[in-house]
Amino acid sequence: MTDSKNLNFHNRFTELGPEFYQAKAPDSVTDPYLIDFSPSAAKLIDLSPGEGKSQGFIDRFSGNCALEGAQPLAMAYSGHQFGSYNPRLGDGRGILLGEVLNQKQEVWDIHLKGAGPTRFARGFDGRATLQASIREHLASEALNGLGIPTTRSLAIIGIRELIYRQKPELAAILVRIADTHIRFGSFEYFHYTGQPKNVKRLLEFAIQNYYPDIAKESDRYQIFFQRTIQRTAKLIAKWQSVGFIHGVMNTDNMSITGATFDYGPYGFMDRFVSNHTPNHSDTHGRYAYSQQSEIGFWNLNKLAETLIPLISPETLEVEIQQYQPLFNRFYREEMGVKLGLAILDSEFSQLVQKMFYLLQNRQLDYTNFFRFLANHPNDSYSANNNNEDDELKSWLNQYNKLVEREGVSHAERKIQMDSANPKYILRTHLIQSALDKALKESDFSEIKRLRIILENPFEKQSKIFEKYGIDSEYYSQDTPDKFLCKQTSCSA
């Protein structure tokens, strides 16, 4: 382990040249302070877990002190937002400090979000709100705890500066770690500005650095697209399985390596409503839960357009048609694990279809339904429980028959299901509680507590609750009515 002063920084992205970025150091700030630090994320770059407490760390990652070897820059990109092309995007407030090589020879981007305006800022202040930074920090670490590919959040650093959105808000800097910050929109930028040579250069760079095993293949461009399709399909299948709704699946928020990227008005499903969107700007439900797989396909088509003529239109069409079968397969596998079932035949499909009907019709809590199912003994699925209606009893009996044909004991099935179905998710009221304490009382303890719980969401965490003297059921109970299907602004 090392301290932040001795991180091994470099930045391969500078090899591409100034057409791809603006060289830009983060702006300095007055009296920065630590809000939260993730020791789990710190391990990725061999950073000491106690480093977050040091003033040196705070100064280096707030922009007040240069990092040796770092070559900070703001990346150029564009993208389709809500279906319409926007040519004027780019890192308006983000600075890629550089990359860190860890002891495993893994390379990780270190990025500051809210580090001051760049030439891509479009007249905005280049800052991020504390509220949005807390939300992204918690979501990043929560999805990682769920085993879903995601960018990570190393820390939130507060800055003593008011910024103006719909009202004056406190500002902060989010320290983000990612395998790459290249997006679908990175390719769109050069495609729509008539720079095919730079599309090719970016593609070669991406293959060389993120898919090096195919770098010498004659059909490497096609394989790159295949893998992007596969990873995107698998990512969205995982989102669907846990009830995560990204909220703003614009092409500039889609990573080429299939990681969850750029958290804004996201949400987790509480009572199951298939067309729920957590983004109050999404008035037509474009990015609703039920639309996410389709939007993944739409976004991949936009990426495909940028790769012509490097890949023939006919080949791209053949590859893109593999997306839906891939998504369906990945999703069936995810749901099989959640239900403790391995035989994924037509009876399984009927079971899942009926389950979603019941979840929606009965307004059942999505996450807690699966925990209930894992704890429901095999021999009681005949359901003599008066609290269960006839349709639910019928479904439980059908489920029990499929469990019995697997030949797996209740104990074995429970272990499998409890390891696949979280007890804790990042519910709206939990986020709001952390935000209220932080914004109204400058008390950041709930952010830390919530992060720790969500790092291991499948396990009952008695020691943590005993340590803090809190009710364990508070973090796993159904979302209170007043927070159900709550929507959030894109404003950050």
Are 462 and 102 within 8 A, CB to CB? no
Check if the beta carbon of residue 405 is closer than 8 Å to that of residue 343: yes
Spell out where 198-342 has E strands.
Answer: 244-245, 267-268
Can you count the helices (H) and strands (E) in the chain?
16, 13
Does residue 267 sit in helix, strand or coil? strand
CB atoms within 10 A of CB 409: 11
Say which residues have a Cβ less than 8 Å from residue 198's Cβ, sequence separation at least 6.
Answer: 19, 20, 190
Cα–Cα distance for residue pair 392/165, rounded to 1 Å: 47
Q: What is the dihedral of CA 224, 230, 235, 239, to 10 degrees?
A: 150
CA distance 75 to 16: 11
DSSP states of 285-317 as a string? -TT-GGGHHHHHHHHHHHHHHHTTTTS-HHHHH
- Distance separating alpha carbons of residues 208 and 186, to the nearest angstrom: 16
Question: Distance of CA 21 to CAs 69, 121, 198, 206, Å?
Answer: 18, 13, 12, 15
Instruction: Please check whether residue 152 is in contact with residue 83, taking contact to mean a CB–CB distance below 8 angstroms.
Output: no
Name the one residue in this structure whose structure tokens are 């789990």: 40
Annotate 343-378 with DSSP letters as a single string: --SHHHHHHHHHHHHHHHHHT-BHHHHHHHHHHS-G
Question: Is residue 252 annotated as a catalytic residue, yes or no?
Answer: yes
**Of the candidates 123, 426, 122, which has an alpha carbon nearest to the alpha carbon of residue 263?**
426
- Which 8-state DSSP code applies to residue 66? P
Residue 76 is encoded by which pair of tokens? Answer: 């150029």
Angle CA 58–62–67, to nearest 5: 85
Question: What is the end-to-end Cα distance of the chain in Å, rounded?
Answer: 34
Structural tokens at position 322: 């593999």
Q: Are 452 and 465 in contact (CB under 8 A)?
A: no
Q: Which of 27, 46, 179, 252 is catalytic?
A: 252
Residue 228 carries which side chain, given as an amino acid letter? T
Residue numbers annotated as active site:
252
